[in-house]
Amino acid sequence: MSHVTLTGFMICRTLEEADRVSHLLAGHIAETRAEPGCMVFEVLRSMSDPVRFAVREVFVDRAAFDAHQARLRTAPWGRATRGIPRDYVLTVGVEEAKFTPPPRGEETAN
C-alpha cells in the first residue's frame, strides 16, 4: 500500500477571498481529518503573504485520496473554493507528479 501525499499552495486572488477561505477552514479540516484513510491534513495561512495557504495532506492510499476528492465536489469547501489557483505536488509512494485539481463538478482523471 502506497501513501498518497499532496503538498503545495492554494493562492487566493484577493484578501477578501482569503478571508472567506479562512472562515470555512476549521470545518473543512475537521471533516477531512474524520475521513477514513486520512493520516495528516494541514492547511496554514501565511502570515507574510495572507493570500497564500500551505497545504499538506497524507492519505493511506490512492482510494482514500480519491474518496476525499470526490467528497469535495459537493462539500461547502469545494463549492466555495472552486477556481482558486492551486500549485500542488502529488506523491504516490516514492513517485512525484504535478497535481492540478479539476474544477469541482468534473471527474478526476486518474
Q: What percent of the chain shows pLDDT beyond 90?
A: 78
Nearest Cα neighbor of 90 from 108, 105, 75, 74 is: 108
The tens digit of pLDDT for each residue in 59-110 reads 999 999 999 999 999 999 999 999 999 999 999 987 655 666 766 555 444 3
Instruction: Give CA–CA dist 102/107, Å, rounded.
Output: 7
> What CATH number does the domain located at 4-99 have?
3.30.70.100
Q: Where are the domains of the chain?
A: 4-99
The pLDDT, as a whole number, for residue 94 is 72
Quick one: average pLDDT of 21-48?
96
Percent of the chain with pLDDT strictly greater than 70 = 85
Is residue 24 within a helix (H) or strand (E), and if so which, with residue range? helix 15-33
Report field, pTM of the whole predicted structure over 0.85: no
